[in-house]
């Protein structure tokens, strides 16, 4: 996935067409061609041609059965979300891809407003069962809707945790979250010199999150970054509010994951009940 060269190949009409697909995502998995043509104010034949061009670039997927319609690919939704960040003045330049996994792709970017930053493009949905039920009432569940919800959830959590040891979240558009660039390494990749202090810092932070009403929900050595300046906790799409269904089990699992990593990697033994009491997590 390379966004900059693709971005340059998009014309005014292409963006209008993508705008219309985006506006109708909640009502249609495949947005009808007639509706796109109408909203984009482009003739139907020309709309079809542009949609074919966008499909050749793997930005959309077109279907012909039942009715003619188009939907975003992950690449297309990410490109369109980037466009919204650019239009709103939040992003000035997209840089290189820093990493791409099963669940997201992370890019460097530059913002006149915020300086060097990163964009995380969400690929899959991380929504709680309750939210999935909510979603059913206003449209079909499909990849784009879920990825957007997931980005929204991550942005919301990062906003609530502002000022704590998390990247500062600057903006959310579509499946993209624009956030502070953290220059640090994943915990599992390094051997820290002061594991007791690092574990203490992580648990302190989990306690602070809890007091702001947030449970991470996927805490592990993969989602903690460390450097000489300290620790950061990242990756919040599956976070839940304290008090929502299953939050206590998630909190316990988060802590157990961290404790078991420090046990295996550094031989540090800490009892979960002691930790819950010590860090004000009861």
Q: Which listed residue (223, 225, 251, 279) binds Mg ion by CB under 5 A?
A: 223
Least distance to ligand ATP, CB of residue 149, Å? 14
Closest residue by Cα to residue 177 from 55, 272, 90: 90
Residue 224 in the binding site for ligand ATP (CB under 6 A) = no
Least distance to ligand ATP, CB of residue 120, Å? 6
Q: Which listed residue (167, 217, 239, 262) binds ligand ATP by CB under 6 A?
A: 167
Residue 62 in 3-state DSSP? strand
Least distance to Mg ion, CB of residue 104, Å? 8
Q: Which helix (H) or strand (E) holds 210?
A: helix 195-211
CA 89 to chain centre: 20
Are the C-beta atoms of residues 1 and 97 closer than 8 Å to each other? yes
Report the C-alpha gap between 165 and 142 in whole angstroms: 33
Q: How many residues bind Mg ion (CB under 5 A)?
A: 2
Catalytic residue among 19, 27, 140, 218: 218
Residue 58 in 3-state DSSP? coil
Report the C-alpha gap between 109 and 116 in whole angstroms: 6
Q: Which listed residue (166, 235, 258, 262) binds Mg ion by CB under 5 A?
A: 235
Strand order from edge to edge, sheet including 31-32: 31-32, 69-72, 60-63
Q: Which listed residue (234, 240, 255, 275) binds ligand ATP by CB under 6 A?
A: 234
Residue 223 in the binding site for ligand ATP (CB under 6 A) = yes
Q: Is 271 a catalytic residue?
A: no
Residue 106 in the binding site for ligand ATP (CB under 6 A) = yes
Q: How many residues bind ligand ATP (CB under 6 A)?
A: 18
Q: Would you say 170 or 247 has its CB closer to ligand ATP?
A: 170
Residue 75 in 3-state DSSP? helix
CA 241 to chain centre: 17
Are the C-beta atoms of residues 226 and 184 closer than 8 Å to each other? yes
Least distance to ligand ATP, CB of residue 171, Å? 13
Q: Which listed residue (86, 135, 164, 181) binds ligand ATP by CB under 6 A?
A: 181
Report the C-alpha gap between 196 and 176 in whole angstroms: 35
Residue 154 in the binding site for Mg ion (CB under 5 A) = no
**Residues making contact with ligand ATP (CB under 6 A):** 98-99, 101-104, 106, 118, 120, 167, 179-182, 186, 223, 234-235
Catalytic residues: 218
**Residues making contact with Mg ion (CB under 5 A):** 223, 235
């Amino acid at each position: 996935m390379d966004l900059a060269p693709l971005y340059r190949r998009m014309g005014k009409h292409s963006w209008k067409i993508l705008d219309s697909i985006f506006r109708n995502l909640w009502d249609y998995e495949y947005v009808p061609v007639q509706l796109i043509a109408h909203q984009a104010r482009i003739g139907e034949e020309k709309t079809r041609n542009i949609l074919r061009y966008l499909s050749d670039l793997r930005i959309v997927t077109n279907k012909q059965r039942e009715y003619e319609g188009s939907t975003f690919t992950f690449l297309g939704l990410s490109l369109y979300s980037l466009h919204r960040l650019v239009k709103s003045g939040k992003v000035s330049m997209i840089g290189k891809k820093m990493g791409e996994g099963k669940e997201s792709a992370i890019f460097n970017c530059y913002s006149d407003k915020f300086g060097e930053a990163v964009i995380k493009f969400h690929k899959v949905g991380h929504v709680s069962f309750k939210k999935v039920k909510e979603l059913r009432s206003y449209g079909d569940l499909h990849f784009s809707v879920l990825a957007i919800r997931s980005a929204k959830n991550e942005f919301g959590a990062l906003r609530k945790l502002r000022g704590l040891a998390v990247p500062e979240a600057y903006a959310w558009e579509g499946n993209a979250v624009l956030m502070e660039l953290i220059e640090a390494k994943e915990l599992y990749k390094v051997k820290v010199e002061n594991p007791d202090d690092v574990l203490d810092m992580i648990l302190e932070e989990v306690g602070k999150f809890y007091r702001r009403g947030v449970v991470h929900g996927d805490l592990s050595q993969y989602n903690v970054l460390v450097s000489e300046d300290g620790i950061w906790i990242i990756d919040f799409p599956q976070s839940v509010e304290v008090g929502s269904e299953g939050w206590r089990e998630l909190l316990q699992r988060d802590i157990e994951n961290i404790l078991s990593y420090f046990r295996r990697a550094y031989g540090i033994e800490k009892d979960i009940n002691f930790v819950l009491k010590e860090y004000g997590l009861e």
